[in-house]
Structure 1
């Protein structure tokens, strides 16, 4: 059964493999990270963990199997720009894990963690119009559309969810 885990240093190899294996799939609906993301991955991973330790962001991975460090990363679920009881939710699922309800379950878990563990009261999210799966996940998990924007030149929607 997949397990949502707070990002750790030992997730790095599996996380990098996840990002490499799904790069083209992700780029179809969200801006590509660029080559430097992959060449500078180790330093970036360390920086993210430092920022997480300072409470600026909370990064999570969805791993397959029993939760051991050798498990495969099949999703990322991040709370970024944590401030004043609010954060922005961002997520991505591996292509082979898409369409199975795993993202919906993980977003529900993240919402509970945000409220119960991190003390947040509001989450924001955004997604492009050409990503119907992400739009459906947000709607199913209680997010409400608040306006139209552009992401990397593509039409998109902002969402918000109040946590109880």
Structure 2
């Protein structure tokens, strides 16, 4: 149903289109990236790829069964066996279990390929879909938080390589 691909420069056009098409949709539940994100997309992508090459982060695109880019899922700020999970699934693909499937895949990758033992994640309280994905995926609430001025929740999940 979905597969993850490690972010590469070749994803640039599809990723930029994905972000443009879903900008208003994402802004309903997560802070907007702003116009500068789009204007500086090429340099930002190069910076992300450099972080990935340095092992600081692991970025992925989510691809559906037809080969279309439908989301992103990232492991950021890798340190001491842990990383922060972030993801976004586009409007066209939402509600079809793709976020849950992508989170399950990245959790396996995190443990088996990247050697991580724990992940954290956070979401705003007005994003019940993301809260449900994290709960279904074995994350537990560890603290309240504020995300860009909005109330939210921080989660944690321990990982075990199989």
TM-score range, shorter chain: over 0.9
Match of 2:44 in 1: 44
Match of 2:90 in 1: 94
**TM-score normalised to structure 1 length:** 0.95
* 1:73 counterpart = 2:103: no
CA RMSD of superposed structures (Å): 0.9
Query: Which ranges of 4 or more aligned residues in structure 1 deviate by more than 4 Å?
Result: none
**TM-score normalised to structure 2 length:** 0.96
Match of 1:19 in 2: 19
Cα drift, residue 72 of structure 1: 2.6
Cα drift, residue 64 of structure 1: 2.6
* 1:58 counterpart = 2:54: no
Match of 1:163 in 2: 159
Q: Which runs of 5+ in 1 are unaligned?
A: none
Q: C-alpha offsets along residues 64-84 of structure 1, whole Å, 9 cap, x if unaligned?
A: 346xxxx43101000000010
Match of 1:149 in 2: 145
How many corresponding residue pairs?
Answer: 160
Q: C-alpha offsets along residues 107-153 of structure 1, whole Å, 9 cap, x if unaligned?
A: 00000000000000010000001000000000000000011111111
SS of alignment partner, residue 137 of structure 1:
helix
